[in-house]
Structure 1
Amino acid sequence: MRIWSLHPKYLDAKGMVALWRETLLAKHVLEGRTVGYKNHPQLNRFKSLKQPVGAINAYLTIIYEEALSRGYRFDQTKIGRASSKVRITVQEGQLHYEFRHLLKKLEIRDPGKFKQLQHCGDIEVNRLFEVVPGDIEDWEII
């Protein structure tokens, strides 16, 4: 499971579909609707919030908006009520780690997208997140 801190515009088609599916799974975990993945480290930053389900719905909304802009047909009815004011911090080192991780994936599965992004200077974060100084997050599995 990978819930990217990066703006979803960086993801290729396979990455977008995977993110949608994995985030829906994360939502089911947070709602107590599945027994698997309960302790997945990617969920820690949502579990620690006052309204974790509302936060994951806000995240899903952002994915949905990006998908819509690309002409994809994701099912908006799968998104519940979103928390409108939620902000999650992400350390700068985490953002850079994720971008390098994505580039490795793109180099294999979408060389065109890889070439487009390999020299990207400023990395845009998903608007749900606020970048703070620091290294890779403690919950990241390296």
Structure 2
Amino acid sequence: MNPAHPAYTRLVRASGWYDLIVTAGFATPWTYALVHDLLSAAGDATGLGAMPGLTPMQTLYANLMGSVVVVWSVLRVVRPLPLHGLLDGAARVLFALWQAYALAHGGPAVLWPFLVLEVSFGIAQLAPWLRTRAAAGRETVRHS
């Protein structure tokens, strides 16, 4: 698949829907308190560890992240362009790095499923661009 293929734009839209569903609850202090409680309960129930106690600063950063990701998600759902997939893939690399950093520094293991999905969507959205670039490089060399 290449970034110009219709299947790629369906992938971009699907990643937008996933992000919208997963992060909408982070966008307000009231919904984040509920999400925080659910993640803590799920972490406890599965043995993956509870979330740290809720603080005003943690809530602020969760709300900032949630608000930005909701807007970015809606853009990809409404207008899934190949460029949006490239940029989202790059953002997922960053999110995965920070999730891995948190896990390496004692963050709750409940982050693992989110990390796996970030890496999966990141690879799926960046790989077509890398293949297209590699093919263009081979074409340039062949015509030199």
What's the TM-score, normalizing by structure 2?
Answer: 0.35
What's the TM-score, normalizing by structure 1?
Answer: 0.35
Q: Which has the larger radius of gyration?
A: 2
